[in-house]
Amino acid sequence: MALFPAYGLNEEESARTETSEGLVWLENSSFKADVNVLKKSETLQADDEREDKVSLHRKKQKKKEKKNKKNKAKETIQLLDDALPNDLFLIDKKRNKEYLSSSVQRIARPSAPKYILRYKSHQMSNKNYKKKIVRYFHHVCDELHKIANDKSNSSENVEFEGYKEEQDLTQTTAFYNRSLSDNPHDINMWLKYVRFQDIVNHFEKAYRKGSIAKGSRVLAERKLIILDKALIQNPNCEALLRERLNIAASVFPADELYLQMEKLIEKEPQNIILWQGYIESLQCSMSHCNISAVLKLYAKCLSTLHHLRRNSLVEKTVLEENILRMLYQCGLFLKQSGLFEQLWLLLSLYLELNLSPEDKGKFNISSNINEKELEELENAVLSSQLPIHELWLRIEKLRESCHWLPSKDENCEDPQRIVFAEDVSEFIHPITMPGNTFKLTAIVLTLLKVPLLPCRHSTIQELGLDYVPWSLDSIEMLLPLFYPMYGVNFKNKYLLKDTQKLAIGPQYSRTLPGQEEYLEFVLNVMRNCMDCLKEYEKVAMALWWFRLQRLLIILDKEGRFKMTHGFRKRIKNAIKNFIKKEVNRNNLLFYQEYALFESEWGTNDDAIGILLTALSSKNNDHLLDSIQDTEEQRHVCRLYRTIIELTLSNEKEPEHVNKVVLDYLVHMCLGKSANSLSETDISDAAIKLKHAYLQLLQKVQMQEEGNFGIIDHFLPNFFIDIVICYSWFIYFKEGIVNCGAFLEETLSTLEKSGSNLWLREVLFEFYAAILYRHLLLHLGSVNFKLLEELLQRGIESYPNNLFLLAAFSKVQSLNCCIGQPLFKTSKILLNTGRALSSIILVLITQQKIAEIEASCTNTFTGQSPILEDIYKNKMLSIFKRLTLSSMCTRRCGLVWRLYLQFLYSHFTPDLVRNAYYAAVEECPWLKVRFHFFR
């Protein structure tokens, strides 16, 4: 009870209000209504008002409610994203125009008037759409949501386009970086890493946008950065320097490249690779190529190297080899630019200075060209009423075939033929180091179009001829493809079918005026070099002289080279007179070469008779009793090997041939005749051969690399001959499997011991030859696959070996269905990065097309089918790839000639014209560009 009654009343009223459902505001002292009735009436009144509004503006009201619902749903989602159940307050993020500007009520349809706008012009009106008004923290929230969604997408969906490829590239890059940091002196790994950038660039082109020109420049700069790092760890590495030069030459303009190389030459004047790049930047530039300017650079290079050689003691051998390399490159430039008179004067002065200093007129050789006959031919051409360009071309071809020596007539009409010694005196320097004299002779003969016989990768590298990809300008360097060895002849009439079309004067392979005269000139030069050289160098040159004439006889038999009866008789008499000399009578190697001549002229039996007669003059009953590796042992073993190969090349029954070969092998080991052989004798011969093989293998493993010179590439090797004879013995007694295992073991042993490259290359040649012979006798897919894999390994290791390339092309022609697809053949040959193997790819493709045309006939007309578009496109794609800026063959004259001849025969003149302009731009110094279509 309260102290005052008024306050007590208030307490009672407050207690009642708590129990009255919160309706105090409805109570009145004068009127008190029922609460339930009031609620019901208010609800009905509100419903009536809503129905009135709907009847007036039904469409607008529905849209407004729908829009409100949508907006409310969005706002609740946004609030629910950030709000927590225990939050004390919420941040207002609702988009509301009323907060930014006063709301204006507009007239809703159908009360508002309707306007129709029409544009007289056909152009569409530019409508400016208003941006949606958003508040500041709405932007922030959208960005946060976007980042969260990106993270969830990248973590959940990793299979987006290019993700897997990018991960692989990242892992591969990490592998290269780790490997090169562990071993920075691994040259092959550096080169692989550089070539890996092509794959990275291909990925970037596929999945990222950018210009092609900019991408190629960026790719080149990326490669150059890698190579610069590699050269810091491996200074003066030839492979890395050459790769850097090729990349720079393929991307940078000639002016920029010229300035770069000039700065590098000032820092390293002894670097031969930088000199090559410096000269080629001017020689290969169409806008700057000038004969006098290029020759000045060659003279400057040779004089600089000669000056450094005189003042240096340590690098004297290397600098002299660099002089020989630059002499070869300078000679190529003179020959290909049409200055053959100047070339021969330069070469003759080098030979007189270094080979015959006492006899200055030793190489003053004259030609037997009949000038009157030449004038008559020229007059006949002029009177033929042909177009002017055709007249010029024919007369020029006549003159280049007959004129290769400087003219001694002061009244000569052609000033180019008048050459003085002062014109080439800047290029002449003495060669003083032992062994380089034979290299000089080999370079001179190569410039005179004498092919290396046999042509091996190691020999080309040893002579320094491998680094000039534009050296192939005529057909003569490819003639060793038809040179038989190891009793195997890869005869293929479709390979290099048009041999004579690719000859360039002066030449000896095509029937033109001056053919026999130039061949006689070359043989005289070889004989004079032979007279000036001494001991083993003289023997090596004589063997080269024999082999060249034998090759010409082989080509004459196959119809690729036409030799008159009188010239053939002169060759035979010259060989007989050479052997009859007192100095040459006791050399068994000359009898071996003469016997091989007889096998081409007559029969193999006559040749074997000559060899057996030569062996009877020597005491060879105890050849393998003591392995001393003497000259007599080497020569006798080479004669036995030649007898075996001639026996195998006979077209007789295999069983008879096998028995005869075993008899000769036993006779070589034991000295017993073939009539009294037994199984004991055969087992004793096997033991002796194995013992000799093991002893020689041990010697070869202990032999240093410097003890094997360029002369040994032309002379017989006792270890090689013993391995070949022992392999034939295993083949005929135990089969091809054991023979292959023996050769594989020998090759792996030599490779592990780091033995000479030439030894391994020769054994690889023999391995391919014996597998090929077995394949012909036992046709089957297994043997075919083994031979293909072996040839692929050999070409990857020795890409300039023409015997392996000839075997590869022959295997492709054995059966068109069994041969490898063209893309595999292209991959094998083009990945070598050599011009020689790349040209073989073109010849193999032409060979396949010729075989198809010869074997297929049209059933309606009975004629050979026309070349289909598929083969045209294949050839076209190969030529386009060979002439890319990144390929070494883009400056090879022979490739451009084959390319333009193919386009001229099968495509439109516009395409031929564009290709011709590209050829002139890449090879501006080539005079043969005027004969591209002939």
Confidence of residue 132 (pLDDT cuts 50, 70, 90): low
pLDDT one-digit tens code per residue, 386-435 = 888 888 888 888 888 888 888 877 777 777 788 888 888 899 999 888 88
d(C-alpha 925, C-alpha 898), whole Å: 18
CA atoms of 431 and 220, how far apart (whole Å): 39
Sign of the alpha-carbon dihedral angle for 426, 432, 438, 439: negative
State yes or no: pLDDT of 578 exceeds 50.
yes
% of the chain surpassing 70 pLDDT? 77
Mean pLDDT, rounded, of the chain:
80
Q: Concatenate the DSSP letters of all residues of 567-579 into one string.
A: HHHHHHHHHHHHH
pLDDT of 625 strictly over 60: yes
The helix/strand/coil state of 687 is helix
Answer yes or no: is pLDDT of 39 > 50: no
Cis peptide before 506 (omega within 30 of 0): yes
State the DSSP code for 512: S
Residue 332 or residue 17, greater confidence: 332
In this prediction, residue 209 has a pLDDT band, given cuts at 50, 70 and 90, of low
CA-CA distances (angstroms) from residue 715 to 640, 694, 728? 15, 22, 21
Nearest-angstrom CA–CA distance, 306 and 431: 10
Whether 450 has a pLDDT exceeding 90, the answer reads yes
Strand partners, 488: 485
Residue for token pair 């806008």: 287
As a whole number of angstroms, the distance between CA 197 and CA 169 comes to 10
Percent of the chain scoring above 90 in pLDDT: 19
Neighbours of 330 (CB within 10 A): 23
Residue 12's pLDDT band (cuts 50, 70, 90): low
Residue 816 has pLDDT above 90, yes or no: no
652-703 pLDDT, tens per residue?
666 778 888 888 888 888 877 656 667 788 888 888 888 889 989 988 888 7
Tell me the mean pLDDT in the region 817-825: 71
Q: Give residue 529's pLDDT.
A: 92
709: Cβ contacts below 8 Å, ≥ 6 apart: 435
Closest CA to 876 of 918, 835, 907: 907
**The whole model's pTM is what?**
0.79
Residue 14 reports pLDDT greater than 90: no
Tens digit of each residue's pLDDT (9 = 90 or more) over 166-179: 788 888 888 988 88
Least confident of 54-68, 230-244, 366-380, 504-518: 54-68
pLDDT reading at 11 higher than 70? no
Distance CA 813, CA 874 (A): 17
pLDDT of residue 220: 85
pLDDT at 722 over 80: yes
- Measured at the alpha carbon of residue 22, what is the angle toward residues 16 and 23, in degrees to the nearest 5? 90
Angle at 421 between CA 420 and CA 427, to 5 degrees: 125
Q: How confident is the model at residue 866, as a pLDDT?
A: 60
Distance CA 509, CA 503 (A): 7
* Per-residue pLDDT tens digits for 635-662: 889 999 999 999 888 766 667 788 888 8
Q: What is the pLDDT of residue 139?
A: 62
- Identify the residue with better confidence: 627 or 73: 627
Dump pLDDT digits (tens) for 867-898: 667 778 888 999 999 988 878 888 888 899 89
Residue 345 has what pLDDT? 92
What is the crossing angle of helices 238-251 and 272-283, to 10°? 20
Q: Band of the pLDDT at 513, cuts 50, 70, 90?
A: confident
What's residue 73's pLDDT?
44
Q: Which of 121-135, 146-160, 393-407 has the highest mean pLDDT?
A: 393-407
**pLDDT for position 932:** 58
pLDDT tens digits, one per residue of 86-125: 666 666 666 665 555 545 566 666 666 666 666 555 555 4
Residue of 438, 439, 551 whose CA lies nearest to 499: 551
